[in-house]
Amino acid sequence: MCHDAFVLPYTAYLRVYQPIDAFSPCDRGYWEEYAASSDRPRRINALAAEHSESLNRLVTTPPRVAPAEESRNAYLRRVNERLYVCPWQTRLRSWRAFTEFSGTMPAGLSTAFVPASEAERAEERYRAWRDAGETVRPGILSSNWTIPVPWFVPFEAQERCLVLSANSTRTLLYLTRTSLAMRRLEHTLAVLREHIGERSVSASTEQLVDWLSLTAHPDSLLELDYGGLPHLLDDDHLGEDHSVAEVSGAVEALATGNSERVLELRERLARRWRLVRALEHAN
């Protein structure tokens, strides 16, 4: 299974946090009550809770592609006393991940992982969900073992937060306003089109702009969370990881025609993430 259908320990996340007033009155009331609850999973334990849920589904007989009901949990943030909410959307993310998984597997091979009856049931439920006009764009994207380069573009170096600890609080993340993120993405696309050409523009960067423009409220927040990767990497690696600054520097170097600087930063970034990807095969 891939991506959100099976939450791996070494997964990174890109999350949109919607302001509380962006939700319907009914949902707003639920999330406000949820935020005040002492029983909800705290952020420090949330990834472990998601991982446990996905494992429980996969070890059942037969394994279940997605939970029967949508998760009622969320990641929460408060900025200037304003509540921001990022629902887990576990069922939606699982449906989408299984659709992607099935589409990339040879015909008939996916039944080695999920019985045909369970796969058909999941596809029917997802189709009914779409036909009912419900949202099919999750507010969380995930990437296993690495972070796609376009994910670094929406952020700036000063938005970095690194916490190094021997316990489960090891964290590396970036947080910004989505309006700023969109501005940076659009600037990067403009630089790439001018200096490299339309055909060379990264499709994944354009898809990220599309995802944010159709998913995020104008006052929302965007978070890049290294997720489980900090538990895979040592303190020196994390302390020296300035991927956001390097991507930003490469874009500005390209804009000013400094090709040597572009190559230097690209190689530094590629070398760092080659080392991380190598750990996947050694695991």
Cα separation values, 30 from 3, 20, 76, 120, 249, Å: 28, 10, 13, 32, 43
The band of 2, judged by pLDDT with boundaries at 50, 70 and 90, is very low
The pTM of the full predicted model, rounded to 2 decimals, is: 0.87
For the stretch 125-156, pLDDT in tens is 778 878 777 777 899 999 988 999 999 999 99
- pLDDT score recorded for residue 7: 47
DSSP H or E stretch at residue 78? strand 74-79
d(CA 175, CA 107): 41
Are the C-beta atoms of residues 148 and 136 closer than 8 Å to each other? no
Are the C-beta atoms of residues 216 and 18 closer than 8 Å to each other? yes
For the stretch 12-37, pLDDT in tens is 999 999 999 999 999 999 999 999 99
Are the C-beta atoms of residues 217 and 19 closer than 8 Å to each other? yes
Are the C-beta atoms of residues 225 and 173 closer than 8 Å to each other? yes
DSSP H or E stretch at residue 174? strand 171-177
Which runs of E-coded beta strand occur in 107-167? 140-144, 160-163
- CA atoms in the 13 A half-sphere facing the CB of 188: 28
Q: Tell me the percentage of the chain whose pLDDT exceeds 70.
A: 87
d(CA 172, CA 161): 6
The band of 201, judged by pLDDT with boundaries at 50, 70 and 90, is confident
For the stretch 39-62, pLDDT in tens is 888 877 777 777 777 766 666 666
- Phi first, then psi, for residue 102 (nearest 5°) are -65, -35
Sign of CA dihedral 252, 254, 257, 262: positive
